[in-house]
Amino acid sequence: MMICEAIIFGPDDTEWESGVFRLKMEFSDKYPIEPPKVRFMTTMFHPNIYADGNICLDILGKAWTRAYGCLTVLTSIQSLLTDPNPESPANNEAAGLFTEAQGDRNAEYYRRVRQCVEDSWIY
């Protein structure tokens, strides 16, 4: 097994902008046949991220193909930040607040996201 850390940045012009988010990636001996296990080390508030940092993303499970590499995984996770799937929540509170917040940039969801961004600067 190989373990490494990665960093993704919050996409520009989004509520995640200027965030520096640390991830842990674990590659088993069966990689690339099986996907890596990826979780956030940075505290996150997002509909598709569990409290322990694990990520609910199709390409890290059933939709995995050995053609995907680290760049695809990290780009997909970065994209997930601004395009969550509240229909398949890992965090029910975040999913509910995200759904309520659509169109309201001052909503509680966005406040909590900005707090995660600010907290990400500490590491």
Q: Catalytic residues, which ones?
A: 56
CA distance 46 to 49: 5
